Structure 1
Amino acid sequence: MSVKKVVQKGQEVDVSTIISKMVQRARTAMDQIYDYSQEQVDEIVQAVAWAIYKPGNAEELARIALQDTGVGRYDHKVIKKRRKTMGTLYDLKGKKTVGVINRDVATGITEIAKPVGVVGAVVPSTNPGATPVNIAMMALKGRNAIIIAPSPKGLSTSELLLKYIHQELEKIGAPADLVQVLPSPVNKAKTKELMKQVDFLTVTGSRNNVNLGQTSGTPNVCVSEGNVVSIVDSTAKVKEAAHKIFLSKTFDNSTSCSNDNSIVIEASVYDEMIEALQKEGGYLCNPAEKMKLQEAMWIDGKRESRTLAKDPEIIAREAGMKNTKAKKAQFFMVEETGIGEKHPFSGEKLAVVLTVYKADSFEHAIEITKKILNYHGRGHSCGLHTTDESHIEQIGLEIDVCRLLINQVQVYGNGGSFDNGLNFTLSMGGGTWAGNNIGENLSYKHFLNITKVSRVIPEVVPSEEELWGTYWNKYGRE
Structure 2
Amino acid sequence: MSGDRTSGSDGPGAETPDGTEPTDPAEASKDGSDGPATHGRDGPSATGPEEARAAAGGPDAAASDSSRRAERTVAAARTAANELAAWDPDDAAALVRSVGERLADGETISRLARSAANETGRGHPGTKAEKVATEIDAARRSVRDAPTAGVVDRDGAAGTVTVAGPLGVVGAAVPATHPVVVPAVLSLYGLAARNAVVLAPSPSAVETCDAVVETVSRALADAGAPTDAVSMLPAPPSKPETDALFERADFVVAAGSETTVAAGQRCGTPNVAASADGVVAVADGSVPAPAVAARVAVGATYDFGAHPAGDAAVVTVSPAVDPLCAALEDEGGYVLDAAERDRLRALLGDSEGDESEARAAGSDPRGKSPRRLAAALGLPNAARQTSFLIVTPDSADDPLATLPGIPAIAVHGRDGFDGALGPAADP
Q: Quick check: TM above 0.5? A: yes
Deviations 1:201-227 (A, max 9, x none): 111111111111111122222234424
The letter of the residue matching 2:190 is A
Please tell me whether Structure 1 or Structure 2 has the larger radius of gyration of its CA atoms.
Answer: 1
Deviations 1:115-171 (A, max 9, x none): 011111111111111111111211111100111110121110011111111122222
1:177 deviates by 1.0
Residue 256 of structure 1: which of 278, 288, 307 is its match?
A: 307
- Equivalent residue of 1:72, what SS? coil
Q: Could you tell me which residue of structure 1 aligns to residue 339 of structure 2?
A: 288
CA contact (8 A) 1:48 1:133 kept: no
Q: Does 1:320 align with 2:378?
A: yes
- Equivalent residue of 2:282, what SS? strand
Q: Could you tell me which residue of structure 2 aligns to residue 161 of structure 1?
A: 212
After TM superposition, which residue ranges in structure 1, 4 or more long, deviate above 4 angstroms? 6-9, 300-304
Tell me how far apart the structure 1 counterparts of residues 346 and 247 of structure 2 sit (CA, whole Å).
39
- Equivalent residue of 2:106, what SS? coil
Tell me how far apart the structure 2 counterparts of residues 369 and 223 of structure 1 sit (CA, whole Å).
16
1:180 deviates by 0.4
Q: Could you tell me which residue of structure 2 aligns to residue 95 of structure 1?
A: 146
Which sits farther off after the overlay, 297-306 or 174-183? 297-306
The letter of the residue matching 1:285 is L
Q: Could you tell me which residue of structure 1 aligns to residue 396 of structure 2?
A: 339
Deviations 1:338-392 (A, max 9, x none): 121xx1101444211211122343233224544xx2xx4xxxxxxxxxxxxxxxx
- Equivalent residue of 1:346, what SS? coil
Where in structure 2 are there 5+ consecutive unaligned residues?
1-43, 52-64
1:271 deviates by 3.6
Q: 1:58 to 1:143 in 2, by over 3 A?
A: same
Tell me how far apart the structure 2 counterparts of residues 323 and 335 of structure 1 sit (CA, whole Å).
21
The letter of the residue matching 1:244 is R
Q: Could you tell me which residue of structure 1 aligns to residue 387 of structure 2?
A: 330
Tell me how far apart the structure 2 counterparts of residues 301 and 138 of structure 1 sit (CA, whole Å).
32
1:323 deviates by 4.2
CA contact (8 A) 1:123 1:150 kept: yes
Q: Does 1:11 align with 2:66?
A: no
TM, length-normalised to structure 2: 0.80
Q: How many residues align?
A: 364
Q: Could you tell me which residue of structure 2 aligns to residue 72 of structure 1?
A: 123
Q: Could you tell me which residue of structure 2 aligns to residue 194 of structure 1?
A: 245
Q: Could you tell me which residue of structure 1 aligns to residue 178 of structure 2?
A: 127
Q: 1:86 to 1:301 in 2, by over 3 A?
A: closer
- What's the RMSD between the two structures over aligned residues? 2.2
Tell me how far apart the structure 2 counterparts of residues 243 and 137 of structure 1 sit (CA, whole Å).
34
The letter of the residue matching 2:377 is A
Deviations 1:414-471 (A, max 9, x none): xxxxxxxxxxxxxxxxxxxxxxxxxxxxxxxxxxxxxxxxxxxxxxxxxxxxxxxxxx
- Equivalent residue of 1:36, what SS? coil
Q: Could you tell me which residue of structure 2 aligns to residue 446 of structure 1?
A: none
Tell me how far apart the structure 2 counterparts of residues 143 and 328 of structure 1 sit (CA, whole Å).
49
Question: Percent same amino acid at aligned positions?
Answer: 29
CA contact (8 A) 2:403 2:409 kept: no
Q: Could you tell me which residue of structure 2 aligns to residue 307 of structure 1?
A: 365
Where in structure 1 are there 5+ consecutive unaligned residues?
1-5, 377-478
1:33 deviates by 2.5
Q: Could you tell me which residue of structure 2 aligns to residue 353 of structure 1?
A: 408
Tell me how far apart the structure 2 counterparts of residues 359 and 216 of structure 1 sit (CA, whole Å).
39
Q: Does 1:111 align with 2:162?
A: yes
Q: Could you tell me which residue of structure 2 aligns to residue 455 of structure 1?
A: none
Tell me how far apart the structure 2 counterparts of residues 83 and 135 of structure 1 sit (CA, whole Å).
15
Tell me how far apart the structure 1 counterparts of residues 161 and 90 of structure 2 sit (CA, whole Å).
21
The letter of the residue matching 1:154 is A
Q: 1:71 to 1:300 in 2, by over 3 A?
A: closer
Deviations 1:305-341 (A, max 9, x none): 34222100111111111141x110000001124121x
Tell me how far apart the structure 1 counterparts of residues 247 and 414 of structure 2 sit (CA, whole Å).
47
Deviations 1:242-300 (A, max 9, x none): 22111100112212222111111234443432232112111112222222332333239
